[in-house]
Structure 1
Amino acid sequence: MSEASAWLTRLFEGHRLTPTQRRIAQCLIRRPDEAPFLSSVELAGLAGVSQPSVTRFAVALGFDGYPALRRRLRESLRDGRAAAGPDDAGPPANVYQRAVLAEIGHLRQLAAALADTARIEEAGRLLAASRPLPVLGLRAAAAEAGGFAYFAAKVHPDVRLLTEGGSVLADRIEAAADAGASALLCFALPRHPREAAEALAVARGAGLRVVTVADSAVAPVAGPGDLLLSAGVGTGLSFDTACAPALLGRAVLEAMCDALPDAQSRLERFDTRAAERGLFLG
């Protein structure tokens, strides 16, 4: 990868870009020498987006408009050519490798954060004690919530998966509270749905302690009394990659199992029934 491509990659990292804006960013990274001389119309055509999308992209990066971004690209190209050395190999050359390495970085950060187990063990105790246990995940976070709920149901007597928004969602949260729930687990991933924040407000109003697995320690859905656990998401592809939050969810599940005295016996009963019914091929 050239110095110009590396600089472009660093410029885009840390910004919350929409899928359309990421397509524009990837188009620029693939054309680092050509990028500083493209008009907004030309860039829009290459990326397959509208010209206003290019303008919004530049503003999302903190520039007044596309002309200001293009001037900065030209400066970086000039400076990069002057500074680059013959042995400057740079990071991997394609977008897929960069996405994988970014996720590895997030997993390393998560591993370091889990050196202190106090918060995740507290989360496990809170979730283990809740009867029933509502698990919330809307839109992009529905997959993580569904995976957690699937496995949690093998060790917890009453798991209630909540992945559909609308007015019925508030009803289901309140019904869980009325049935004895004391906590709710929420998976919150970008772009954070307004409905998720509204649902968590209902949960807090019903007296539930909210445990949230999110992409950031300052996730917009978090409340001051919540137990928030965070792991970064990858933004190098058109759509977010959430390997670290998914693994964090499994770690929370492990902590919940540790806090459930009958978790192992439940698992053994499930395995026995699964074998009797021939559920699995292996």
Structure 2
Amino acid sequence: MNEGGVATAPDRVLDLFHGIRLTPTQRRIAHCLVQHAAAAAYLSAAEVAELAGVSQPSVTRFAVALGHDGYPALRRRLREIAPTGVPDGGSAGNELQRAVRAEMGNLDRLAGELGDRERIAEAGRLLAASRPLPVLGLRAAAPLAAYFAYFAAKVHPDVRVLDDGGSLLTDRLEQAAAAGATTLLALVLPRYPRETLDALREARDAGLTVVAITDSPVSPAAEYAELVLPAAVGTGLVFDLHTAPMTLAMVVLQAICDATPAETQARLEAFESSAARRQLFLG
């Protein structure tokens, strides 16, 4: 929803897939349609296949899986739900204002999704119980992983940031699992580094449960994650805006605190005592 409570084009396209179990190839097609929501109703099957990097027959099978006779029927459905003068995040103002208003819409949509508190609570329980807690974020997601880990380390005894790719990444995943880790928090943002998806596959092979914060329920990360927590990424500027994913990461950290309230309080009090003794802060 945008800040006025109006469903955006991506929202309406996502509704088509609600409750349907998609294969990895079908997720790629679904994600492509969400990314190109405003134009999706006017793309041919061949154009969708090219954008998604799949075969044209895969697009046809995808349409059938959604309950349509074929892709033309799906395209007609997309045209029925295509925007017809409905604002997507606000059309007034200059391009900078529109980008910020779109982020407000992303946050509003996230707030609506948080109505189901059990999913967030489950994530908190899984992550709080993992000792150590590995946090994966490569490329654009690396700063978000570091931001989360900085605060998580105040309430969790062993947080390990995995923000470098290469062969050492697999070593660090295996070392975390050997040390007792049970769950991996993965921050997966566009353009979806290949190394990130490889790492998610390796994490599952190592026996880790994957909780993924990503931009869409049909993100490529959904293939490897037991629990997917979506938060839309803003695309109104030259580089993506990650306001909603950062907010969701802090919500997940709150869920970790809620899962272990006594331990959280003890660790926070210990930190404050240490900070006061060392005069870490001016205020």
TM-score by length of 1: 0.68
Measured against aligned partners, the alpha-carbon deviations of 1:177-233 in whole angstroms (never above 9, x if no partner) come to 000000000001000000000001110001000000000001112225520000101
Unaligned 5+ runs, structure 2 = 1-9, 11-32, 37-49, 52-84
Provide Cα deviations, 1:146-178, integer angstroms capped at 9, x if missing partner: 111110000101100000000000000000000
The aligned residue for residue 254 of structure 1 is 254
1:273 pairs with 2:274: yes
Contact 2:138 2:193 in 1 (8 A): yes
**Equivalent residues in 2 for 1:85-234 (5 A)?**
91-223=91-223, 226-234=226-234
**1:251-272 CA distance string (max 9 Å, x none):** 0000001112300110011011
CA–CA distance in 2 between the matches of 1:248 and 1:233?
12
Q: Whose Rg is larger?
A: 1
Q: In the alignment, is the contact (CA less than 8 A) between 2:201 and 2:224 conserved in 1?
A: no
RMSD after superposition: 2.3
Question: Identity of counterpart residues, as a percentage?
Answer: 58
Equivalent residues, number: 204
- Mark the runs of 5 or more structure 1 residues left unpaired by the alignment: 1-9, 17-58, 61-83, 85-89
- CA distance in 1 between counterparts of 2:146 and 2:225 reads 25
Looking at structure 2, the residues matched to 235 and 165 of structure 1 have their Cα atoms a distance apart, in angstroms, of 25
How many angstroms apart in 1 are the aligned matches of 2:236 and 2:200? 29
Give the Å deviation of 1:126.
0.1
SS of residue matched to 2:221 = coil
Shift of 1:114: 0.3
Corresponding residue number in structure 2 for 1:38? none
Amino acid at match of 1:279: L
Q: What is the one-letter code of the residue matched to 2:110?
A: L
Match of 1:264 in 2: 265
TM-score normalised per structure 2? 0.68
Partner of 2:55: none
AA partner of residue 264 (structure 1):
Q
Paired AA for residue 165 in structure 1:
G
- Kindly state the Cα deviation for residue 93 of structure 1 after the two structures are TM-superposed: 2.5
